Amino acid sequence: MKSYAAVDLGASSGRVMVGRVTPDSLELAEAHRFPNRPVRVPEGLRWDVLGLYAGVLEGLRAAGQVDSVGIDSWAVDYGLLDADGALLGNPVHYRDARTEGVAEKVWGRVPAAELYAATGLQYAPFNTLYQLTAARESRQLAFARRLLLVPDLLSYWLTGEQGTELTNASTTQLIDPRTRDWSYDLAARLDIDLGLFPPLRRPGDAAGMLRAAVLEETGLTGPVPVTAVASHDTASAVAAVPATGERFAYICTGTWSLAGLELDAPVLTEDSRAANFTNELGLDGTVRYLRNIMGLWLLQECVRAWGDPELGGLLRDAAAVPALRSVVDAGDAAFLAPGRMPERIAEACRASGQPVPGTPAEVTRCILDSLALAHRRAVEDAQRLAGHPVDVVHIVGGGTRNALLCQLTADACGLPVVAGPTEAAALGNVLVQAGAHGLVGDRHAMRGLLARTQPLTRYEPQGGTGRWRDAQARLATR
Ligand code: ADP
Ligand code: LRH
């Protein structure tokens, strides 16, 4: 048996999990969980990356002796280092307003269609490419000698070694999904200095050893290697989808819903661009063909506005509210920024001539119906655009704890939903480490092990998809 520490940093919480693996068994236990609360300072919204690093160290101490450590986190964001290797300021949060209006400037130099053809990445205002363009005139960027994506930054602090992990690099919009290497020509046309990024590493590559000071602080006995995993949390979560065949769609639910397919090659058509599907990179040469949906962020922000009522009670009350009274477009980037979420949802309903949800239960129901509807649309569009039909939808991540959302998704898609595992990103992280150490085989073997060992819940579709089609039509005509 081997033990692996998986550091998994989501937008709402960070955790250090310990996975114990043999060729026939897989157990995951939580060593430490800590909130991830962005901080608004006069310059804008920032990640408290030192607080997160402190949480990682505390988690490693709680994890105890392990055979290796892997790190994954949310995508696109980065820290800049000066010539001495010191961090220049707090990493900017992807929900910060600095990228407003930047895309249009970029498209003036490289049209959106060419950008998509080169990178296969959906338009999202926070793609690293747009963030770097927004920062172009900043003194921080002028002083920077290195750019490390968030998991790579933490890995650097743990080991002293630098690298850029490929699955997360694929969210920068600077990678060509066909060559799985940097898009040199595009970067040159946009004056983006790829020399800021350290060399690419791939999931399973060695990423250094815990530094002596880290061993001392965590009480671990060295040497303890750090292994590059699929360091984009969504790539780790997709690796842990317990599918037993090829005909499946997945929805990674947490702060975001990431809904789509695993493919062998990118889909770079104009239709795909118009539908805003992304081609991010996954394990074993795969492409994660998916759409970003606002996800449980909508609910998180409402719950925050309501003074943090207990989630279980809220979901029970929402289950009693009549279905599909009002829906909003849960893919709309208008919901990206924090603040005033119940009001913004009410305004969207009013503007589209639908009943305005009033109570927290009604707003929650509107959010869950809207998410299920967006899940349906993404699963349908992905199958059509990629020519890859599916028989089942796998839901992984924190949203698997929301039985109403899982059932509504099954109903909306008209397909069975298999929910679980909840800590998919951490499991994918553990399994890539286990794979690197020869304990499990490729992603199919990983999925077989997950399907045999993890508790999963099946939801059968109910009630026909007609009313979901009607709700979609209501949204489409507005
Ligand atoms: P991230 O990794 O993006 O931080 P998670 O995968 O941890 O997100 O999922 C967080 C979400 O899971 C929360 O926003 C919440 O909606 C949902 N969730 C967590 N616990 C429960 C619960 N007990 N019941 C229902 N939903 C839950
Ligand atoms: C989910 C996620 C998602 C990205 C977003 C920025 O945590 O990594 O895949 O698009 O954060």
Alpha helices for 120-247 (secondary structure H):
128-134, 139-143, 150-159, 166-169, 184-189, 212-218, 233-239
Convert the pLDDT of each residue in 445-460 to its tens digit: 999 999 999 999 999 9
Cα gap 380→115, rounded to integer Å: 25
Structure tokens given for 1: 């048996």
Any ligand 1 atom below 6 A from CB of 399: yes
Q: pLDDT grade, residue 478 (50/70/90)?
A: very low
> Are the C-beta atoms of residues 431 and 406 closer than 8 Å to each other?
no
Query: Which atom of ligand 1 lies nearest, measured to the CA of 253?
Result: 6
Convert the pLDDT of each residue in 404-459 to its tens digit: 999 999 999 999 999 999 999 999 999 999 999 999 999 999 999 999 999 999 99
Instruction: Kindly report the pTM of this predicted structure.
Output: 0.98
pLDDT of residue 182: 98
Distance 297 CA to ligand 1 centre (A): 9
Residue nearest to atom 2 of ligand 2 (CA): 74
Concerning whether 233 is annotated as a catalytic residue, the answer is yes
pLDDT of residue 473: 87
Residue nearest to atom 22 of ligand 1 (CA): 401
Convert the pLDDT of each residue in 203-241 to its tens digit: 999 999 999 999 999 999 999 999 999 999 999 999 999
**ipTM of this predicted complex?**
0.99
pLDDT of residue 477: 56
> Are the C-beta atoms of residues 343 and 360 closer than 8 Å to each other?
no
> Are the C-beta atoms of residues 430 and 436 closer than 8 Å to each other?
no
Q: Tell me: pLDDT of 122 over 90.
A: yes
